[in-house]
Structure 1
């Protein structure tokens, strides 16, 4: 049978929607609770588990390295506002025999559900024909007995939602019926959302947790008008941070590691009545460090990184914002070298009190 790939069944759109929604074998990108990360010091977040039939779901993503706690998104933000991780994807789900067991159980349950009647029941019957009786359409062939004669030679792939995607329509858009992929082969080209190392790298980016950005100041929380305030970051912040995302299923092993390296610090004094040093507020990494610690005898020197406030905070405080920019790249399965991703930023705000310098006339 030939026809459009997204309208395989000769029934109403409403019934097809019901059938497809029932057949979305989606699994959260991660369900197991990860071990806490420690400022990028490494933790493991394991995907895996089983559905209500007890069949292992291979489509889950495994995270390791510097990933956020409890499966949440990390604290790094992309410097490119137009860049986003994938909202959903297709990934290995079940082998042929397990898929037949799962589908047969579901179809029997739907057929015995009195709420499913008419064209919806026809939709379920045609989906059953698709996997059991070699009923296909357009560029998507049907299957004979769920491909059980090929068990171990491939897997059925299914749609997976990114639980951190706020747009429901985007998150649920990987709605095609599960399809077969031979071991070592790539999915058919029409499945543009099939998981790739680059997509895994973006997911690792999304879950990456980086160290905080609290700068050290001299003077500390209270400074003086027209007195240079020195700013620097602890050298420990400059350690390279990595997060890895992987899918490891029989016949399919895809991995990507995203790496973040500190690049520069940008200071925003919290008031227009201040001068940043350098003038653009950007303090680059020089000889492996950002800024220079203040030392006795440097009071009259200009710091390589700092701020000069031109008026007092009047008994209040100024919100000094420090934004650390990280250069991010990834490597992964089949990738010869590192590939760049948009820079990431981490921001922190410190409240600064600025006082007038008091003088005594004699």
Structure 2
């Protein structure tokens, strides 16, 4: 399964802080990671083993589905994290590849080349932990392609050795909550084109009923998992429909209810119109107070979703609400009276 939004930056040096074996610089589309890929080659650069986070989803996405967006402007998916990447032998091959690339790169400053050489000697001094091949793995940073460079740079720690079964005491070490946030980023929810009655043109000053079919509007889940040489972590993030907000597309219209928020009740949002309800007020709808003339009004329906997650080891919690909306044209006509 192709994994989007995660990449390995190209090899460059950072002066003034710890030398990164890789540095977060903009990558191209071809730098995306595929499940199980290793040793991806860049022009004149080499990066090492890749870690793939796998995603699976469940629940109906319906027609016209789209990416769920957080309602909290202060929340963003994880920008970077540390994960197990190399066995000792793989890390040796990777470090030697970095060194060879640096030596043969005429554009690399001498001081940077020297730093890379010194760092390689440091790892070589411990023989890359090859004598502990079965005891652990080398961990390194991974990056979310959609995150800002500044946020990616929070993972500026050089690769480090971790014994199998242990979780490093590092703030950005991958954990179920990290995967929950990445699963949220992958969430696709059904479109929110509502059913309307009357089915043709709406009438001025008469209620237009609006509802969403509960058969198509159900919870959606995405599971993100990481399995690397005995290390396993996963999280399932679930979005449950909670409410629908209507924007009639014109300021001189009345929304029903007055708050504009149509709540989820008995698995549905709104109530389907049926004969005999003409004199009733719909639980969800719009009353247009003028004609749309020769055009239409753009009715926007935005669904709010409650987000929760569960993960490895009994972990779990909630994340900020998400929302997704669609527009649809509504033609509004004056009621025609016939005089005899």
Alignment of 1:196-345 (within 5 A): 196-336=175-315, 338-345=316-323
Matched, 1:106 2:98: yes
- Structure 2 residue corresponding to 1:75, chosen from 49, 56, 67: 67
Map Cα deviations across residues 81-104 of structure 1 (whole Å, 9 max, x no partner): 111001111111101111112212
Residue of structure 2 equivalent to 1:356: 334
Q: Aligned partners of 1:228, 1:132: CA distance in 2, in Å?
A: 76
Alignment of 1:31-70 (within 5 A): 31-32=33-34, 47-52=35-40, 57=49, 59-66=51-58
Q: Aligned partners of 2:71, 2:17: CA distance in 1, in Å?
A: 41
Structure 2 alignment gaps of length 5 or more = 1-12
Q: How many residues align?
A: 318
Q: Aligned partners of 1:233, 1:29: CA distance in 2, in Å?
A: 40
Contact 2:190/2:217 (8 A) holds in 1: no
Change over 3 Å in CA distance of 1:357–1:23 after alignment to 2? closer
Q: Aligned partners of 1:15, 1:108: CA distance in 2, in Å?
A: 23
Map Cα deviations across residues 302-342 of structure 1 (whole Å, 9 max, x no partner): 11111111111122211111111111100001235x41111
Contact 1:213/1:323 (8 A) holds in 2: yes
Change over 3 Å in CA distance of 1:15–1:278 after alignment to 2? closer
2:112 is paired with a residue of what secondary structure?
helix
Q: Aligned partners of 2:23, 2:263: CA distance in 1, in Å?
A: 53
Map Cα deviations across residues 9-45 of structure 1 (whole Å, 9 max, x no partner): xxx974978x535578x9999633xxxxxxxxxxxxx
Structure 1 alignment gaps of length 5 or more = 1-11, 33-46, 134-143
Q: Aligned partners of 1:16, 1:307: CA distance in 2, in Å?
A: 59
Q: Which stretch of the first structure deviates more once superposed, 220-229 or 170-179?
A: 170-179
1:312 is paired with a residue of what secondary structure?
coil
Residue of structure 2 equivalent to 1:131: 123
After TM superposition, give the deviation of residue 160 of structure 1 in Å.
1.1
2:33 is paired with a residue of what secondary structure?
coil
Change over 3 Å in CA distance of 1:229–1:15 after alignment to 2? closer
- Bigger share in strand: 2
Residue of structure 1 equivalent to 2:5: none
Change over 3 Å in CA distance of 1:151–1:74 after alignment to 2? farther
What is the RMSD computed on CA atoms of the aligned residues?
2.9
Residue of structure 2 equivalent to 1:177: 158
Alignment of 1:111-126 (within 5 A): 111-116=103-108, 118-126=110-118
Q: TM-score, normalised by structure 1?
A: 0.80
Q: Aligned partners of 1:74, 1:88: CA distance in 2, in Å?
A: 24
Q: TM-score, normalised by structure 2?
A: 0.85
